[in-house]
Amino acid sequence: MTNSILTGIAILLISVACGNKPVDILVAADGTIITGDLQTIGSGEAVFSARVVDIPDQGRIWCLDGSTFAGEITASGGVFRSGSFSVPEDSVYLVVWGNTDIHQETFTVDAALGWQNTGIELIQGEMLSLHSTGLVATETGTATPRGQEKFSSSVSLVPGATSGQLVFKVGESGQPVAAGDTWIGESPGDGTLMLAVNVPLEGSLCSRGVYTVTAYAGTTGSQPGTVAFYPAGR
């Protein structure tokens, strides 16, 4: 069931990317994928294009800025609320009900040490959010986690990222991803989360400084029995 859910969502997102009008997507607890417009959420129900879908009591909201919060969720008029938190729908990346546990941990990522193992185990499709701050110095100058826009190198730890940028991969052989100061999305694979500073020469002792990185990991909209909402503007 999980693979079919992911495949269905992927097809819908590809359709959007090819120029079709974006639509909201709701995945019901039985894996049924519904497209249309979310109207309201509350009292254990989501009203979606005039169809009522039962939802568990507790849910988790993941926002495009990387923040996340959980609790009893309501929504109306394009605004999502949970306790004292409220966010507009266009700032929401994903909402998941029935699967709210996450792992949160903060790491110090040294520019001189290459790939560093966080010990956080991820499964493909699991949500991941990274927030990083700090200042490092490399052969090409100082940088924040966003990296130096004008500098990259074919011999860098991650050639496709800029010098000094925070990067990550999932598993030793995973494809590296440029993260910058904020990144949110689904894990691209199974394995341990690895973090690094993209330096011009791997293991170079000329690199100095650290980034402080907070990682939030957990929840996935593809687990059986969960309900997930993917806004059109994600």
- Render pLDDT for 85-122 as a digit per residue (tens, 0 to 9): 999 999 999 999 998 999 999 999 999 898 999 999 99
**Other CB atoms within 10 A of residue 56 CB:** 16
Is 231 exposed, middle or buried, given 0-12, 13-18 or 19+ CB atoms closer than 10 A?
buried
Give CATH 2.60.120.430 domain extents, the chain.
103-218
Q: Tens digit of pLDDT for each residue in 208-230?
A: 999 999 999 999 888 888 999 99
Phi, psi (5° rounding) for residue 228?
-135, 145
For domain 103-218, the CATH architecture is Sandwich (2.60)
* Sheet of 166-170, strand order: 116-122, 191-197, 166-170, 177-178
Q: Tens digit of pLDDT for each residue in 28-45?
A: 998 889 998 889 999 999
Q: Tens digit of pLDDT for each residue in 116-164?
A: 999 999 999 999 999 999 999 988 788 999 988 766 555 567 777 888 9
pTM, whole model, 2 decimals?
Answer: 0.83
